[in-house]
Amino acid sequence: MVHPRRAFGIVAVLVACALLSGGAVRAIGAARETEGKKPSLSLKATPPIAFSPARVRAVAEIRGGPDDYEEFYCPTIEWEWGDGTSSENASDCEPYEAGKSSIRRRFSAEHIYRLPGNFKVLFRIKRKDKAIATTSTNVQVRPGIRDPWSE
């Protein structure tokens, strides 16, 4: 016959094992869901409202998806500032290796708006000449003290 305290301990261990294995199954399932999903983009401009001349910092982030998402590995990055100017940069990377290569998740750039206006800032991730992901945000630049039209 098993002592009641010992029986309780055995049951507690069995329940804990069942809960942990269920949690492990959920964690594996969540990891598999992430693997198949395309990452998303977010873009933030700081400050979103300023006086000219305005120095604005834009930060784009890749969220979700696997760290080795091939389509986003070693892309060309393009910023369109909404005032007729743009900038682009590309990196020289090692060849892609599944499970080994990691995507870059954060990009930032600064831009100076010399004139007032409402501007749409676009961020693009490109492969060759094809845009594979795009996001945008708005910046409002108001006339500054030295602008002749601010009077």
pLDDT bin (cut points 50, 70, 90) of residue 91 is confident
Q: Is the peptide bond before 143 cis (omega within 30 degrees of 0)?
A: no
How far is it, in rounded angstroms, from Cα 147 to Cα 123? Answer: 29
Amino acid 58: pLDDT: 98
pLDDT for residue 144: 87
For the residues of 118-135, what is the DSSP string, one character each?
EEEEEEEEEETTEEEEEE
Residue 34 pLDDT > 60: no
Distance CA 40, CA 62 (A): 6
What pTM did the predictor assign? Answer: 0.72
pLDDT computed for residue 37 by the predictor = 85
Q: Does residue 134 contact residue 41 with C-beta atoms inside 8 Å?
A: yes
Query: 125-141 pLDDT, tens per residue?
Result: 999 889 999 999 999 99
pLDDT at position 128 is 85
Give the pLDDT confidence of 36-51 residue by residue, as tens digits: 688 999 999 999 999 9
Alpha carbon 134 to chain centroid distance?
A: 11
